[in-house]
Amino acid sequence: KAGVTQTPRYLIKTRGQQVTLSCSPISGHRSVSWYQQTPGQGLQFLFEYFSETQRNKGNFPGRFSGRQFSNSRSEMNVSTLELGDSALYLCASSPGQGNRETQYFGPGTRLLVL
Amino acid sequence: AQSVTQLGSHVSVSEGALVLLRCNYSSSVPPYLFWYVQYPNQGLQLLLKYTSAATLVKGINGFEAEFKKSETSFHLTKPSAHMSDAAEYFCAVSAGGDYKLSFGAGTTVTVRA
């Protein structure tokens, strides 16, 4: 099976702009989670989607949003970018049935905000 | 709520020596615990996971971890380090049905020839 894919791999934006990141899960996986990784804060949970519904959300401002499509592909959007949004954004997928499941991670999208 | 603490942000070992990475967890319900590895410019790869079936868990690349409830620990070991083990390692916990992983701060491993 193909792994989790994320596009684009790299992005450069300026403050105030918005950005959309895309994630395609492993075939058959219905849960997609998003994480932000920064040197200062480490890996932090953004949100999780299952069957087009957000089941859980981390402690991030409303500028961070996401959605999931009927084919389980997911997008996350960050509006009004700030310098502190520079990070590696990781997407992970799993079948979606519970906490025992392994989350399989994509290679990430590295966002630089100037 | 659940959390993990990784002791030591950097570990340096000689090739062929024991690798020991420490992880302690906090959870109000029985946890599921994971170790992931991240190589430069890559995502996270699962090394192993504990889901209550057995306290000693064997993973890929010769790694194993032991779940000790009395010590709330899930330390990762490898008997003999290889140069290819140089990477960052993350301990993570999942519990309570909230469908998320809570990660430790990570431990960077360097391997000396």
Q: What is the pLDDT of residues A66-103, one digit of tens each?
A: 999 999 999 999 999 999 999 999 999 999 887 678 99
Query: pLDDT tens digits, residue range A26-66?
Result: 999 999 999 999 999 999 999 999 999 999 999 999 999 99
Q: Does A23 touch chain B (CB under 8 A)?
A: no
Distance from the Cα of A15 to chain B's closest Cα (Å) equals: 24
Using an 8 Å Cβ cutoff, are B50 and B74 in contact?
A: yes
B21 or B27, greater pLDDT: B21
By Cβ distance, the residue of B46, B95, B102 closest to A102 is B46
As a whole number of angstroms, the distance between CA A102 and CA A96 comes to 10
Chain A residues closer than 8 Å to B23 by CB: none
The pLDDT score that the predictor gives to residue B105 is 97
As a whole number of angstroms, the distance between CA B3 and CA A4 comes to 26
The answer to whether the CB atoms of A102 and B95 lie below 8 A apart is: no
